[in-house]
């Protein structure tokens, strides 16, 4: 753990750096493949909408708490499938706390609904009460419309918030790209799992959007801090943004792990031990969305932001200045002039070229004018004497003589 902490400190201080922003082709390729694969799953396999969205019949069988187990729920599901009831293809059987087992199917006739109740009683004889609820398709469409409206309002508010906080519309665009990426991949994996789409799944989708946005805002805030004064820092915009990603990397990983561990535990318990339940719908959407959100906030959103900002003339000028400064610091002799044909050379009639001496071309360079003689040990130029200068016996050195006032000339 100490080694990981030291590595994180090195990333934050800039002693170590992982080139996240510079690998544009890699991250764009991974993102494009993941998004296209998710869209293919969504359109080819389709979503398994629950009865809340499509309408159908819900049969609730009350029984003693000792009988409300996952084994009995699985037995009821197998019995209904084996019965081959008309209109019942893939029933959803879940436990409702410790009081009942709930069977959900599509729209079926009254006879088929009654037969489902009989199968439940035959499978679990301790059933005390049966109740049936018809869910209309119009109510399901209303739920779906409200869910889409909620997502649209959320995205609009996110754009306004980021634009108002950072005063930068390009950051809003980059954040939206990351959010759409998270939504599409989460929905694609959800469709691939075959889990029914319920209101719990929609709730989980909205929750993971908030998590992804929070992580993206943290990274963008660090980018804004690092790129506030590019002229003084001597870095390009991409280098400053990459440093910000490295500085927030450990925080993003730690936050993601802390969030994924409990959600993963809920998903395992609800899917494996409790069987199909509303908890697994919520947990799957949150688990996938949070994992994808870490990727988008660290790798995708900063890369899109750098891509958009790189088109600004001010950023291009600052980047050019920073690259020139870096080149000069790396090679101090890069600015030394090289030999050219039109440079002045020493005359070949110089005696140095006579008597078969080796021919040598000397490049003459402009130099500063000769300096005046300096006072010994003083580091400054000796001012010219105003009068006669001669040896002084008293001081033991050369000094200007002083004439009487009558012999001095006019001032």
To the question of domain 56-135 being in CATH 3.30.70.3400, the answer is yes
Q: For a pLDDT cut of 70, what percent of the chain falls above it?
A: 72
Q: Encode pLDDT of 255-312 as tens digits.
A: 888 888 888 888 777 766 665 556 777 788 888 888 888 888 888 888 888 888 887 7
Tell me the average pLDDT of the chain: 75
pLDDT of residue 37: 92
In angstroms, the CA 9 to CA 251 distance is 11
Q: Encode pLDDT of 221-271 as tens digits.
A: 888 888 776 655 667 888 888 888 888 888 888 888 888 888 888 877 776
Using an 8 Å Cβ cutoff, are 103 and 91 in contact? yes
Average pLDDT value for residue range 59-82? 81
Which has more confidence, 362 or 41? 41
Write b or e for each residue in 254-271: b if 16 or more Cβ atoms lie within 10 A of its Cβ, otherwise e.
Answer: ebbeebbeebeebbeebb
Q: Among candidates 351, 337, 345, 349, which has minimal Cα distance to 363? A: 345
pLDDT of residue 40: 92
Query: Residue 331 corresponds to which tokens in the numbers above?
Result: 């090679």
Average pLDDT value for residue range 369-395? 64
In angstroms, the CA 381 to CA 377 distance is 11
Average pLDDT value for residue range 370-389? 61
Q: Among candidates 125, 130, 82, which has minimal Cα distance to 103? A: 130
Q: Is 9 left (phi over 0), alpha (psi -120 to 50) or beta?
A: alpha
pLDDT of residue 330: 61
pLDDT of residue 128: 79
Which has more confidence, 36 or 310? 36
Lowest mean pLDDT among 36-40, 102-106, 177-181: 102-106
* Residue 33 banded pLDDT, cuts 50, 70, 90: very high
pLDDT above 80 (res 322): no
Architecture of the domain spanning 2-49+139-323? Up-down Bundle (1.20)
* φ/ψ of residue 331, rounded to 5: -135, 100
pLDDT above 50 (res 142): yes
How many residues are recorded in the chain?
411
* Residue 106 banded pLDDT, cuts 50, 70, 90: confident
Residue 44 Cα distances to 13, 89, 197, angstroms: 48, 20, 16
* φ/ψ of residue 363, rounded to 5: -85, 125
Domain ranges for the chain: 2-49+139-323, 56-135
Query: Residue 363 corresponds to which tokens in the numbers above?
Result: 């490049």
In angstroms, the CA 366 to CA 350 distance is 20
Lowest mean pLDDT among 126-130, 183-187, 230-234: 230-234
Candidate ranges 4-18, 62-76, 84-98, 325-339; pick with highest mean pLDDT: 62-76
pLDDT of residue 356: 46
Average pLDDT value for residue range 392-400? 73
| CB-CB neighbours of 396 under 10 Å | 8
Helices 70-83 and 110-123 pack at an angle, to 10 degrees, of 130
Sequence-ordered list of residues with C-beta below 8 angstroms from that of 394, at least 6 positions apart, any chain: none
| CB-CB neighbours of 72 under 10 Å | 21
**How wide is the angle at C-alpha 350 spanned by C-alphas 348 and 356, nearest 5°?**
75
pLDDT of residue 410: 61
Using an 8 Å Cβ cutoff, are 296 and 212 in contact? yes
pLDDT of residue 50: 72
pLDDT of residue 408: 64
pLDDT of residue 137: 63
Question: 49 exposed, middle or buried (CB, 10 Å; 0-12, 13-18, 19+)?
Answer: middle
Average pLDDT value for residue range 385-402? 72
Using an 8 Å Cβ cutoff, are 350 and 358 in contact? no
């Amino acid at each position: 753990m100490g080694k990981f902490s030291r590595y994180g400190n090195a990333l934050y201080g800039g002693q170590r750096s992982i080139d996240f922003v510079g690998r544009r082709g890699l991250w764009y390729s991974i993102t494009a493949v993941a998004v296209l694969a998710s869209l293919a799953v969504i359109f080819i396999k389709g979503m398994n909408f629950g009865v809340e969205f499509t309408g159908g019949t819900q049969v609730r069988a009350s029984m003693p708490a000792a009988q409300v187990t996952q084994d009995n729920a699985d037995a009821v599901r197998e019995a209904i499938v084996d019965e081959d009831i008309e209109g019942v293809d893939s029933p959803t059987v879940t436990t409702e706390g410790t009081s009942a087992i709930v069977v959900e199917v599509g729209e079926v006739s009254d006879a088929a609904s009654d037969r489902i109740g009989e199968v439940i009683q035959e499978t679990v004889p301790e059933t005390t009460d049966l109740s049936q609820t018809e869910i209309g398709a119009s109510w399901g469409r209303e739920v779906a419309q409200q869910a889409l409206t909620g997502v649209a309002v959320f995205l609009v508010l996110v754009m306004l918030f980021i634009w108002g906080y950072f005063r930068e519309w390009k950051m809003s665009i980059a954040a939206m790209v990351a959010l759409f990426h998270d939504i599409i991949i989460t929905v694609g994996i959800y469709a691939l799992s075959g889990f029914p789409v319920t209101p719990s799944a929609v709730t989980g989708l909205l929750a993971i959007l908030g998590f992804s946005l929070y992580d993206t805002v943290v990274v963008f805030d660090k980018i804004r801090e690092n790129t506030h004064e590019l002229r003084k820092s001597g870095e390009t915009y991409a280098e400053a943004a990459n440093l910000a990603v490295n500085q927030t990397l450990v925080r993003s990983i730690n936050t993601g792990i802390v969030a994924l561990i409990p959600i993963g535990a809920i998903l395992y318990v609800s899917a494996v031990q409790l069987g199909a339940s509303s908890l697994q719908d919520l947990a799957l959407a949150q688990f996938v969305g949070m994992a994808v959100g870490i990727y988008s906030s660290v790798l995708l959103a900063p890369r899109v932001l750098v891509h958009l900002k790189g088109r600004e003339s001010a950023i291009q000028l600052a980047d050019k200045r920073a690259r020139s400064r870096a080149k000069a610091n790396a090679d101090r002799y890069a600015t030394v002039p090289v030999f050219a044909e039109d440079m002045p050379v020493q005359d070949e009639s110089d005696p140095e070229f006579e008597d078969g001496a080796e021919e040598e071309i000397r490049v003459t360079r402009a130099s500063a004018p000769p300096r005046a003689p300096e006072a010994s040990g003083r580091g400054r130029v000796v001012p010219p004497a105003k009068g006669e200068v001669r040896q002084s016996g008293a001081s033991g050195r050369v000094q200007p003589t002083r004439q009487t006032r009558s012999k001095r000339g006019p001032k």
